[in-house]
Amino acid sequence: MWHGVLVMNNTQSIVLTGFMGTGKSTVSHYVAKILKRRVLDTDQMIEERTRLSISRIFALRGEAYFRVIERGVCHELALRSHMVISTGGGALMNEDNRKAFLESSFVVCLFAEPSTIESRISKSQNRPLATQWKPLLEQRLATYQALPNAIHTDNKTPENIAKEIITLWTESQ
Ligand code: S3P
């Protein structure tokens, strides 16, 4: 198997973060397929728990409520090993969430050019913060850049991005 024994011995979960539209969800499935792991997605878990879509949560309950649920999910997932965890773009902006994942897991931040982000998120219906993406990205960029493992995703296939992530992860051991 690709990367053999090193991969099998590493029990740490891989956590994908990065701004909206950087490809976290898509790439998480490629990483999971290669490693034969399960994907857990914070937004999906929030939707299951509240039985509401992300846009409905924001519309009915507000962002603060969303962040409370998100925090609970992140702290729960930080305790899990052997997973591939895809997080919502704002999840690791919270210092407690960030610390919890950085202590327990292998955190990778995905980056994309603003033009790529804009074209990807302009099509989505379930991203309540998409209209504010420019100032939000500016506000968050330093925090994303301070994370330990960065991957630039422009002009790469999801499969190659996944392989890059696994290489970083095996080299980190
Ligand atoms: C958010 C990103 C979204 C989702 C929510 C808030 C953010 O996830 O969690 O709309 O604050 O950046 P994606 O990054 O998967 O779009």
The residue with greater pLDDT, 117 or 8, is 117
Task: Please work out whether the CB of residue 129 comes within 6 Å of at least one atom of ligand 1.
Answer: yes
Taking residue 46's Cβ as centre, other Cβ atoms within 10 Å add up to 20
The answer, yes or no, to whether any atom of ligand 1 lies below 6 A from the CB of 20, is: yes
Nearest Cα neighbor of 145 from 1, 17, 37 is 17
In degrees, rounded to 5, the angle at the alpha carbon of residue 21 between the alpha carbons of residues 19 and 26 is 110
Q: Does 88 contact ligand 1 (Cβ within 6 A)?
A: yes
Mutate to test the pocket of ligand 1, among 15, 43, 50, 140 (most ligand atoms within 8 A of CB): 43
pLDDT digits (tens, 9 = 90+) for 40-72: 999 999 999 999 999 999 999 999 999 999 999
Q: Cα separation of 24 and 108, whole Å?
A: 10
Q: What number is the average pLDDT over the span 4-17? A: 81
pLDDT-based confidence at 7, cuts 50/70/90? low
Residue 65 near residue 46 (C-beta atoms within 8 A): no
Residue 4: pLDDT over 80:
no
Chain position carrying tokens 């100032």: 135
Q: Is 137 in the pocket of ligand 1 (CB under 6 A)?
A: no
| Cross-strand bridge partners of residue 106 | 14
CA proximity to 17, closest of 109, 142, 145: 109
Spatial distance between the Cα atoms of 25 and 85, rounded to a whole number of angstroms = 9
Q: Whose CA is nearest to atom 15 of ligand 1?
A: 88
125-143 per-position pLDDT tens digit: 899 999 999 999 999 999 9
Q: What pLDDT, on a 0 to 100 scale, did the predictor assign at position 147?
A: 98
Q: How far apart are CA 81 and CA 61, in angstroms?
A: 32
Q: Which of 83, 110, 100 is nearest to 27 (CA)?
A: 110
Mention every residue, 6+ apart, whose C-beta is less than 8 A from residue 44: none
